[in-house]
């Protein structure tokens, strides 16, 4: 079973929603966040990236940064920018990017279900980022940004969500990147009860994006549980805010790689080694057209790399992934990149930036770029079901959720 419960959200005044809605904290650095929020006191970046309101050079982990985030969130509530829902509700959150549309439900999910494995992860977290987000959650006493979860689609849940979307939305915001963000409120108790019961039949939820936000909420819940006197299991800290999307609506984009040098090899010697595990051909296609096929930009030309049969274990849910094939058959043995998490010679480029960005990076100094075929939701869920984790930088989800449209305070 999976828990999805209503809650009393804090949400923007409708006329301020477009000003409040902000990119997630982890897709921009401090300077980018400062530029985006300039002249906009309502931007939720003042909560997610509060260092933008402190002097240049402030350590993002300094005590005053976390204190500023608390003050900024409190100010948005006290000045009426964020309103408090009168009663617990569920919410439909729809995103539109070009022709792609996805609609999920926003509610509270269970800390204990994460602990028991009913909410499944597919990647490791970094301790420093986990510590940072845990402190934000703890000091703000809030889930300021939702976790992005997926579930195997249930037709009748889709039917209810589609019916809600026929009504008048509370928010309909198009952000500067051209992506539409639309929110409907589900207030009817019978409909809320129906959705809660339907999710009781969903066997598992999967973290799509937001592993660090999830880990922070779990750590906060566990710390509060440990400190509580005779906890009942129904305390607010036993849940966290998430958007849950049906798996067949989600879009994973490619997550590509660029490498600074050829590990001392000439281009010809490098290609000779690549051909041991891949069929290589010059191509006019700039990106791969099928799984186990890669685009490689080298020497001003695109090459198609096809992994040779038998060069990888196709039945292994992790080692059969394209990111694993590239890592184990090329990046590690030929370019000596053993740990892509820590090796400074490799960088990662989200697919939203396109093939032009890969070409630009090579023309400006990188030696070679690799374009990967996107990982599928089915592959992600298979890895999570097996209790495994994906290699780093395996998935790039678009569109990104906007922060500030719905906020959960632990007080109620």
Tens digits of residue pLDDT in 253-269: 999 999 999 999 999 99
Is the predicted pLDDT of residue 35 greater than 90, yes or no?
A: yes
pLDDT for the residue numbered 341 = 83
Tell which residue, 29, 209, 216, 47, has the closest CA to residue 133.
216
Task: Say whether pLDDT at 59 is over 90.
Answer: yes
Burial (Cβ within 10 Å: 0-12, 13-18, ≥19) of residue 14:
middle
- Residue 185, in any domain of the structure: yes
Does residue 246 sit in the same domain as residue 345?
A: no
Both 231 and 314 in one domain: the answer is no
Residues 166 and 284 in one domain: no
412 pLDDT tier (thresholds 50, 70, 90): low
Stretch 42-71: mean pLDDT, rounded? 97
In the chain, the number of structural domains is 2
Are 129 and 154 in a shared domain? yes
Q: Residue 380 in contact with residue 395, Cβ under 8 Å?
A: yes
Over residues 329-339, the mean pLDDT reads 97
Quick check: is 392 in a domain? no
Q: In what order do the strands lie in the sheet with 368-371?
A: 278-282, 301-307, 293-298, 368-371, 255-259, 346-350
| Core vs surface per residue 255-285: b (16+ CB within 10 A) or e | bbbbbbebbebeeeebbebbeebbebeebee
Whether the per-residue pLDDT at 49 is higher than 80: the answer is yes
Peptide bond into 399 cis (omega under 30): yes
Domain shared by 149 and 286, yes or no: no
- What CATH number is associated with residue 272? 3.30.1760
Given this model, what pLDDT does residue 338 score? 94
pLDDT average, residue stretch 111-116: 97
Q: How many residues does the chain have?
A: 412
Q: What is the distance between the alpha carbons of residues 60 and 68, in angstroms, rounded to a whole number?
A: 11
- Residue 176 half-sphere exposure, CB side, CA atoms within 13 Å? 7
What pLDDT does 1 receive?
Answer: 86
65-77 average pLDDT score: 98
> In 262-321, where does DSSP find H-type helix?
267-274
Residue 343 has pLDDT above 70, yes or no: yes
Beta-strand (E) ranges in 191-291? Answer: 205-209, 239-246, 252-253, 255-259, 278-282
Within a domain: 151: yes
Average of per-residue pLDDT values in the chain = 96
According to the model, what pLDDT value does residue 352 have?
87
Answer whether residue 362 is part of any domain: yes
pLDDT tens digits, one per residue of 137-177: 999 999 999 999 999 999 999 999 999 999 999 999 999 99
Between CA 261 and CA 343 the distance in angstroms is 12
Q: Are residues 208 and 220 in the same domain?
A: yes
Tens-place pLDDT, residues 234-244: 999 999 999 99
Q: Does some domain include residue 4?
A: no
Given a cut of 90, whether residue 79 has pLDDT beyond it is yes
List the domain range (segments joined by +) for residue 146: 10-251+398-409
For residues 200 and 349, membership in a common domain is answered with no
First to last CA, the chain: 24
pLDDT band at 51 (very low <50, low <70, confident <90, very high): very high
| Whether residue 288 sits in one domain with residue 211 | no
Rounded to whole angstroms, the Cα distance separating 239 from 225 reads 11
Same domain, 63 and 194: yes
267 shares its domain with 318: yes
Domain contains 389: no
178 and 229 inside one domain? yes
Whether residue 143 lies inside any domain: the answer is: yes
Return d(Cα 368, Cα 267) in angstroms, integer: 10
Phi/psi at 82 (5° precision) = -105, 130
In a domain? residue 358 = yes
Name the band, by pLDDT with cuts 50, 70 and 90, for residue 393: confident
pLDDT band for position 316 (50/70/90)? very high
Whether 293 and 211 map to the same domain: the answer is no
Question: What are the tokens at 13?
Answer: 């005044």
């Amino acid at each position: 079973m999976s828990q999805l419960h209503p809650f009393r959200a804090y949400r923007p005044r409708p006329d301020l929603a477009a000003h409040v809605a902000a990119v997630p904290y982890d897709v921009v650095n401090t300077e980018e966040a400062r530029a985006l929020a300039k002249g906009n006191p309502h931007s939720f970046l003042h909560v997610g990236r509060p260092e933008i309101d402190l002097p240049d050079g402030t350590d993002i982990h300094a005590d005053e940064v976390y204190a500023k985030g608390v003050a900024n969130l409190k100010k948005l509530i006290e000045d009426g920018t964020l309103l408090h829902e009168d009663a617990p509700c569920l919410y439909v959150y729809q995103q539109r990017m070009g022709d792609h549309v996805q609609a999920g439900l926003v509610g509270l999910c269970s800390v204990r279900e994460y602990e028991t494995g009913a909410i499944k992860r597919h990647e490791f977290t970094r301790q420093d980022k986990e510590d940072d987000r845990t402190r934000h959650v703890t000091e703000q006493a809030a889930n300021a940004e939702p976790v992005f979860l997926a579930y195997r689609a249930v037709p009748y849940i889709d039917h209810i969500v589609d019916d809600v979307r026929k009504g008048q939305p509370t928010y309909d915001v198009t952000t500067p990147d051209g992506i539409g963000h639309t929110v409907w409120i589900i207030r009817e108790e019978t409909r809320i009860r129906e959705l809660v019961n339907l999710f009781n039949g969903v066997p598992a939820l999967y973290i799509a994006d937001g592993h660090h936000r999830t880990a922070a909420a779990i750590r906060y819940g566990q710390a509060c549980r440990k400190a509580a006197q005779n906890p009942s299991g129904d305390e607010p800290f036993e849940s966290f805010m998430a958007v849950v999307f049906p798996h067949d609506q989600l879009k994973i984009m490619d997550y590509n790689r660029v490498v600074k040098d050829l590990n001392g090899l000439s281009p010809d010697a490098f290609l000779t080694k690549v051909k041991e595990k891949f069929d290589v051909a010059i191509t006019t296609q700039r990106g791969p057209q099928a799984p186990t096929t890669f685009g490689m930009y080298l020497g001003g030309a695109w090459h198609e790399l096809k992994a040779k049969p038998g060069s990888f274990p196709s039945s292994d849910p992790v080692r059969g992934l394209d990111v694993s094939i590239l890592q184990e058959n090329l990046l590690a043995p030929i370019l000596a990149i053993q740990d892509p998490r820590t090796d400074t010679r490799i960088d990662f480029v989200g697919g939203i930036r396109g093939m032009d960005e890969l070409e630009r990076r090579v023309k400006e100094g990188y030696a070679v770029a690799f374009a990967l075929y996107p990982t599928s939701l089915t592959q992600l869920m298979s890895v999570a079901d097996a209790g495994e984790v994906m290699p780093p930088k395996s998935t790039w989800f678009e569109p990104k959720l906007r922060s500030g449209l719905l906020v959960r305070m632990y007080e109620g």
